Chain A
Amino acid sequence: MDLFSFRKPKNELESLPDEQQNVPFIPDEMWIKCPKCNTMLLTTDMEENLHVCTKCDHHFRMNAKQRISMFADGDSFVEHDADMESKNILDFPGYDAKLEKARAKGSKESVICGECKIGGINTVLCAMDPDFMMGSMGTVTGEKITRAFEYATDNSLPIVVCTAAGGARMQEGILSLMQMAKTSGAVKRHNDAGLLYITILTDPTTGGVTASFAMEGDIILAEPDTLVAFAGPRVIEQTIRQKLPKDFQTSEFVLQKGFIDAVVSRSNLKDMVVKLLRIHGYGVEEAE
Chain B
Amino acid sequence: MTAYEKVMAARDSGKLTAVDYIANMFGDSFIELHGDRRFADDKAVVSGLAMLYDMPVTVIGLEKGRNTKERMERNFGQAHPEGYRKALRLMKQAEKFRRPVLCLVDTSGAFCGIGAEERGQGQAIAENLMEMMALKTPILTILIGEGGSGGALALAVADEVWMLENSVYSVISPEGCASILWKDSTKAPQAAEALKMTAQDLFDLGVIERIIRQPKADDKAMFESLKLLVSRTFEKNLAMTDEELTNARYNRFRKLGAGI
Q: Could you say which of B40-48, B116-124, B219-227 contacts chain A?
A: B116-124
A45 contacts chain B at the CB level, 8 A cutoff: no
A68 contacts chain B at the CB level, 8 A cutoff: no
Nearest B-chain residue to A240, judged by Cβ: B113
> Judging by beta carbons under 8 Å apart, are B114 and A231 in contact?
no
> Judging by beta carbons under 8 Å apart, are B122 and A214 in contact?
yes
Interface flags for A180-211 (1: CB within 8 Å of B; 0: not) read 11101101110110000000000000011011
**A275 → chain B, closest Cβ, in Å?**
24
B238 contacts chain A at the CB level, 8 A cutoff: no
> Judging by beta carbons under 8 Å apart, are B127 and A215 in contact?
yes
Q: Could you say which of A51-59, A116-124, A139-147 contacts chain B?
A: A139-147
> Judging by beta carbons under 8 Å apart, are B196 and A173 in contact?
yes
**A236 → chain B, closest Cβ, in Å?**
5
B171 contacts chain A at the CB level, 8 A cutoff: yes
Across-interface contacts of A171 in B (CB, < 8 A): 181
Across-interface contacts of B153 in A (CB, < 8 A): 177-178, 180-181
A174 contacts chain B at the CB level, 8 A cutoff: yes
B149 contacts chain A at the CB level, 8 A cutoff: yes
Across-interface contacts of B205 in A (CB, < 8 A): 174-175
**A194 → chain B, closest Cβ, in Å?**
14
**A263 → chain B, closest Cβ, in Å?**
16
Contacts A170-B171, A188-B130; A143 near B125 (Cβ below 8 A): no
Residue in B117, B129, B172 whose beta carbon sits within 8 Å of that of A229 in the complex = B117
A212 contacts chain B at the CB level, 8 A cutoff: yes
**B235 → chain A, closest Cβ, in Å?**
25
Task: Place the interface of chain A in its size category.
Answer: 35 or more
User: Bound state CA distance, A146 and B133, in angstroms?
Assistant: 14
A239 contacts chain B at the CB level, 8 A cutoff: yes
> Judging by beta carbons under 8 Å apart, are A174 and B134 in contact?
no
> Judging by beta carbons under 8 Å apart, are A215 and B114 in contact?
no
Contacts A185-B133, A259-B120; A146 near B254 (Cβ below 8 A): yes
Interface flags for B56-81 (1: CB within 8 Å of A; 0: not) read 00000000000000000000000000
Nearest A-chain residue to B119, judged by Cβ: A257
> Judging by beta carbons under 8 Å apart, are A177 and B171 in contact?
yes
User: Bound state CA distance, A234 and B122, in angstroms?
Assistant: 16
B177 contacts chain A at the CB level, 8 A cutoff: yes
Nearest B-chain residue to A245, judged by Cβ: B114
Across-interface contacts of B181 in A (CB, < 8 A): 94, 170-171
> Judging by beta carbons under 8 Å apart, are B122 and A140 in contact?
no
> Judging by beta carbons under 8 Å apart, are A184 and B260 in contact?
no
> By the criterion of a CB under 8 Å from any partner CB, how many residues of chain B are at the interface?
50
B107 contacts chain A at the CB level, 8 A cutoff: no
> Judging by beta carbons under 8 Å apart, are A236 and B114 in contact?
yes
Nearest A-chain residue to B255, judged by Cβ: A182
User: Bound state CA distance, A213 and B126, in angstroms?
Assistant: 7
> Judging by beta carbons under 8 Å apart, are B258 and A143 in contact?
yes
Q: Does more than half of chain B's interface fall in helix, strand or loop, or is it mixed?
A: helix
Q: Which of A87-115 contact B (CB under 8 A)?
A: 87, 89-90, 92-94
A225 contacts chain B at the CB level, 8 A cutoff: no
Nearest A-chain residue to B169, judged by Cβ: A174
User: Bound state CA distance, A175 and B258, in angstroms?
Assistant: 10
Residue in B117, B150, B194, B250 whose beta carbon sits within 8 Å of that of A177 in the complex = B150
User: Bound state CA distance, A272 and B250, in angstroms?
Assistant: 33
Across-interface contacts of B113 in A (CB, < 8 A): 236, 239-240
**B132 → chain A, closest Cβ, in Å?**
8
Across-interface contacts of A248 in B (CB, < 8 A): 114, 117
Nearest B-chain residue to A98, judged by Cβ: B181
Contacts A139-B260, A181-B133, A185-B253; A174 near B171 (Cβ below 8 A): yes
Across-interface contacts of B172 in A (CB, < 8 A): 168, 170
B207 contacts chain A at the CB level, 8 A cutoff: yes
Across-interface contacts of B1 in A (CB, < 8 A): none
B10 contacts chain A at the CB level, 8 A cutoff: no
User: Bound state CA distance, A189 and B133, in angstroms?
Assistant: 9
B14 contacts chain A at the CB level, 8 A cutoff: no
A residues neighboring B (CB under 8 Å): 84-87, 89-90, 92-94, 138-140, 142-143, 146, 168, 170-182, 184-185, 187-189, 191-192, 207-208, 210-216, 229-231, 235-236, 239-240, 242, 244, 248-249, 257-259
The 14 listed contacts between A and B (C-beta, < 8 Å) are A84-B260, A92-B194, A139-B260, A142-B257, A208-B171, A211-B154, A212-B126, A215-B120, A215-B126, A231-B116, A231-B121, A235-B112, A257-B120, A259-B120
Q: What 14 additional pairs, Cβ within 8 angstroms, besides A175-B257, A215-B126?
A: A86-B260, A93-B190, A94-B181, A170-B180, A174-B202, A180-B150, A180-B153, A182-B257, A185-B133, A188-B131, A211-B126, A211-B150, A212-B126, A230-B122
